[in-house]
Homo-oligomer: A and B are copies of this chain.
Amino acid sequence: MFIRNTWYVAAWAKDIVDQPTARRICNEPIVLFRNKQGLVGALEDKCPHRGAPLSKGVVTETGIECGYHGMVMDCSGACVHIPGQERIPTSARVRSYPVVEKDEFIWLWIGDAEKADPSTIVDYPFNNDYQNWPHKLGYYHIKADYKLLVDNLMDLTHLGYVHKTTIGGDPNTHVNAHMKTLATPRGVKIVRHMPNCMPPPTYAAAVSFEGRVDRWQEFEFVPPGHVIQWSGAVDTGQDALEHPEARQGGFALRVFHTATPETESSCHYFWSIANGYRQNDPSATEHLYQDVSTAFREDQDMIEAQQLRLDELGEEDLVSIVHDSGRIQMRRAINALIADTQASV
């Protein structure tokens, strides 16, 4: 069961061009394409004539042309051309999905089209701000339930184990940090503040600090599967932890993580990683991107192994621990939306 009346990230806008892209979302096969007028279409990936995938076709002046016998559908899903006949039956159409292009994402609504309200799409303005937040975009296909990926992001104690040899460092740093879990209007936010501490070596190598720093790590979960991360440190004494607007001039990075369900046991992982410390140095952005690309593969490896085990043995007898609090609130938010979906069908 998927949350249905919600916006999912279907693709990076840059990747949707005039060559069709096949992508399964919530177990529905969808073709994404950009028509000759620049609009993005999202249609059921099945020609109404003989069932061939439209994603094997091409984009023409009037829509997407099936690669088998040439029927053409426009972005609304209506057939606009049948080779060899004038009359187009009204039944010759496929389902279309509402799509919105915003903040470098293609957002897709999988539920009832009449309920699709673009104003409910989460904002992520940093994707439009290459000056202050130069960033790179990533995509991984993950053979695990998207909720296991969000779990991963909501329990940072994994850093010292999964990423022991890469970005993790000493497990105790992550385990012993002071942490607050805050309810938000739609989800939950984990905030970890470390006032007046020594900067970690990677931070110190990236920027010049005067001495001790105030550090923060904030992870906000927004349903269905977004985690908006802001991490950094500035010289202590500026009251930066209490006043986020004062977090200037030190080390900072932002990540937008989102997991879109492909099937019940696989998902699409999109992330945007932004450099907020050496904005004029493209190599710093590239280096940061390479680091997280490696680390996220480590997460993938663990989550996919976990999925196989849970598929076989279930998760009824698992034991929650103290550090699961953010994860548990996140799951409650998802479960409430799934219950809404169930009630509406």
**Which residues of A line the B interface, CB within 8 A?**
29, 45-46, 48-53, 56-57, 65-71, 82-85, 89, 91-92, 151, 155, 157-158, 160-162, 171, 175-176, 301-302, 305-306, 308-310, 312-313, 315, 317-323
Closest CB in chain B relative to A311 CB, distance in Å: 10
- Give, as a whole number of angstroms, the nearest-CB distance from A19 to chain B: 15
| B-side contacts of A51, CB under 8 Å | 306, 309-310, 313, 315, 318
5 A-B pairs with least C-beta separation: A84-B175, A83-B175, A85-B322, A52-B306, A92-B319
B68 engages A161 (CB within 8 Å): yes
Whether A313 and B67, one on each chain, are in contact in the complex, defined by CB atoms closer than 8 angstroms, is no
Taken together, the copies of this chain in the complex come to 3
**Residue of A66, A68, A317 ringed by the most chain B CB atoms within 10 A:** A68
Q: Are B56 and A305 in contact (CB under 8 A)?
A: yes
Query: Chain B residues near A91 (CB, 8 Å)?
Result: 317, 319
Residues of B within 8 A of A161 (CB): 57, 65-70
Interfacial chain B residues near A84, Cβ < 8 Å: 157, 175-176, 321-323
Complex Cα spacing A176 to B91, Å:
24
A88–B92 Cα distance when bound, in Å, is: 62
Q: Which residues of B contact A69 (CB under 8 A)?
A: 155, 157-158, 161, 321, 323
Rounded to whole Å, the gap between the CB of A253 and the closest CB of chain B is 23
Q: Report if A89-B319 is in contact (Cβ < 8 Å); known contacts: A157-B69, A158-B68, A175-B83.
A: yes
Q: How far is the CA of A318 from the CA of B161 in the complex (A)?
A: 52
Q: Which B-chain residue is minimally distant from A159 (CB atoms)? A: B69
- CB of A50 within 8 A of CB of B312, answer no
The distance in angstroms between the C-alpha atoms of A49 and B92, with both chains bound, is 52
Contact B49 A319 (CB under 8 A): yes
Pairs A–B under 8 Å by Cβ, sample size 9: A29-B313, A48-B318, A49-B318, A50-B318, A52-B306, A68-B306, A84-B176, A84-B322, A85-B323
Q: Roughly how many angstroms separate A71 CA and B318 CA in the complex, as a whole number?
A: 12
Cα(A310)–Cα(B48), bound, Å: 11
Which of chain B's residues have a CB closer than 8 A to the CB of A53? 305-306, 308-309
